[in-house]
Amino acid sequence: MSQSSPAAEIRTALLTSAYVGEVLQVQVEQLRGAQDEITISSVGVRASIVNVSDLNAVPPLLAELRSLVRGVAGADTPVFVEPDFTEPSREDVPTESIVIRSWD
């Protein structure tokens, strides 16, 4: 690893994916070993996912994101990815589409 923090390196790696709009949170748990070496024990990531039009594309995408994180943290590191799916061109939804008005 370089001089930057593991969280910053993970954030940079995730942003290389065309499906990650923003990395919202990176939590890295580290353990200090016997020789005062620091190892990453687990990583949690919350990312805004964009450009996904098909539900069947989600599992391979999550595997890709885990792979990007493990490229920084290590191949055996447990990785939790919390996807936040957003739609880039969201229109305002009128109240009538959500609320059922009474017949009174």
pLDDT digits (tens, 9 = 90+) for 41-91: 899 999 999 988 888 999 999 999 999 999 999 899 999 999 998 665 556
Fold observed for domain 6-86: Alpha-Beta Plaits (3.30.70)
- Torsion angle (degrees, nearest 10) of CA 93, 94, 99, 102: -160
Q: How would you class 21 by CB atoms within 10 Å of its CB: exposed for 0-12, middle for 13-18, buried for 19 or more? A: middle
pTM above 0.75, yes or no: no
List the domain boundaries for the chain: 6-86
pLDDT digits (tens, 9 = 90+) for 8-21: 999 999 999 999 99
